[in-house]
């Protein structure tokens, strides 16, 4: 059984943990944004922490540092600080709590649009576990800001209402064509199992449905967040320093050094991270060239690109994308 909230440990009890939450459609570049933003001194990336119970505690996937979850000194200490050890929590029940709470059909209850009703006990228990987890990450890392790229709408609403968390939202948008094409590619997941498994593959029709739904939902919940900013993936590639500075300013994030000297000559110097789950680039470190992933422009047929434009044009225009799929000037 999950431990009761009253037994939580950690020296940050009573203070709110600042979290920058990256939301949006999957395959939009959230891992890259997280890695770049977390280079700001005092900022700490956790990856997709929504999956810590399934993919970390139970499946023992690799951390961004390369070690298996249970062999990683950082996550081992987080478990001890939060719960007295990961073995002190019933991981199966924690997974079940997330499955019960983090569902699209419960978004109205999580958003406060109607009473929680029979979902209240699960929300309360899952919130208690989650609050302790982030407080322990903050204590062990010594971070002033935690950066989370979980992307789930329901999880964002849950975090918003946890008393010990000060949530700020980044709604990350990428052009629908790029997202749809990314879902059709076979990409190895090096942190899972023996490293030969692949990330999920779906047809473009499925991908644009998900892209539309997720972006509309984050458009809506951004109005219910204490701080929110919308960022385009393409702008991050073109002007990473400008995007980071804008995020810190718009979200009123604490900082001691915004020199951003880790960004230079179209590249980013990325340190080792302890991010969980997400894109395989979480394992990369050192100088990373920032280049737009726009293979879709040459790989997708004209009719396929036209169909995606026709299906997503209202949001393309809303987010400032031209309907033409010709390469934009300067890119």
* DSSP annotation string for 57-126: IIT-PBPTTSSBGGG-HHHHHHHHHHHSSGGGS-HHHHHHHHHHHS-GGGHHHHTTSS--GGGHHHHHHH
Asked if residue 242 lies in contact with residue 183, where contact means CB atoms within 8 angstroms, the answer is no
| Cβ atoms < 10 Å from Cβ of 187 | 13
The proportion of the chain whose per-residue pLDDT surpasses 70, expressed as a percent, equals 91
Q: With a cut of 50, say whether residue 167 has pLDDT above it.
A: yes
- The Cα 116–Cα 122 span in angstroms is 10
Residue whose tokens read 């396929």: 304
pLDDT at position 279, please?
82
Q: With a cut of 70, say whether residue 11 has pLDDT above it.
A: no
- Work out the mean pLDDT of the chain and round it to a whole number: 91
pLDDT at position 4, please?
37
Entry pTM: 0.92
Q: Which residues of 273-295 are buried (b: 16+ CB within 10 A; e: fewer)?
A: bbbbbbbbebbbeeeeebebbbe
Strand locations in the chain, DSSP E? 17-23, 43-47, 145-151, 165-173, 228-232, 263-264, 267-270, 286-289
Residue 278: band (very low, low, confident or very high) from pLDDT cuts 50, 70, 90: confident
- The Cα 319–Cα 233 span in angstroms is 11
pLDDT at position 5, please?
37
Q: With a cut of 70, say whether residue 12 has pLDDT above it.
A: no
- The Cα 273–Cα 291 span in angstroms is 21
| Average pLDDT value for residue range 133-146 | 96
Asked if residue 168 lies in contact with residue 296, where contact means CB atoms within 8 angstroms, the answer is no
pLDDT at position 216, please?
97
| Average pLDDT value for residue range 43-59 | 96
Residue 226: band (very low, low, confident or very high) from pLDDT cuts 50, 70, 90: confident
**Minimum mean pLDDT range among 1-15, 76-90, 165-179, 305-319:** 1-15
| Average pLDDT value for residue range 94-118 | 95
């Amino acid at each position: 059984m999950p431990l009761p909230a009253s037994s939580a440990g950690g020296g940050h009890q009573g203070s709110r943990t600042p979290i920058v939450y990256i939301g949006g459609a999957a395959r939009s570049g959230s891992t890259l944004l997280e890695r770049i933003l977390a280079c700001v001194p005092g900022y700490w990336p956790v990856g997709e922490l929504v999956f810590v119970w399934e993919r970390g505690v139970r499946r023992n996937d690799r951390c961004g540092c390369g070690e298996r979850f249970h062999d990683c000194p950082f996550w081992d200490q987080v478990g001890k600080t939060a719960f007295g050890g990961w073995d002190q929590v019933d991981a199966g029940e924690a997974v079940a709590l997330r499955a019960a709470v983090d569902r699209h059909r419960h978004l109205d209850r999580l958003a406060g649009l109607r009473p929680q009703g029979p979902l209240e006990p699960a929300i309360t228990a899952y919130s208690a576990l989650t609050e302790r987890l982030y407080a322990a990450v903050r204590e062990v890392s010594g971070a002033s800001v935690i950066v989370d790229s979980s992307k789930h709408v329901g999880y964002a609403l849950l975090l918003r209402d946890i008393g010990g968390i000060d949530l700020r939202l980044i709604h990350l948008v990428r052009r629908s064509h790029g997202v749809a094409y990314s879902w059709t590619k076979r990409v190895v997941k090096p942190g899972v199992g023996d490293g030969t498994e692949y990330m999920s593959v779906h047809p473009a029709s499925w991908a644009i449905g998900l892209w539309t739904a997720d972006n509309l939902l984050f458009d809506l919940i951004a109005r219910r967040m204490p701080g929110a900013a919308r960022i385009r993936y393409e702008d991050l590639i073109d002007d990473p320093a400008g995007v980071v500075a804008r995020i810190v300013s718009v979200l009123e994030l604490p900082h001691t050094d915004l020199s951003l000297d880790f960004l230079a000559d179209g590249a980013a110097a990325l340190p080792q991270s302890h991010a969980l789950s997400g894109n395989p680039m979480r394992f990369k470190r050192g100088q990373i060239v920032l280049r737009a992933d726009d293979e879709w422009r040459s790989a997708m047929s004209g009719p396929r690109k036209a169909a995606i434009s026709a299906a997503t044009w209202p949001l393309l225009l809303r987010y400032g994308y031209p309907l033409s799929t010709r390469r934009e000037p300067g890119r």
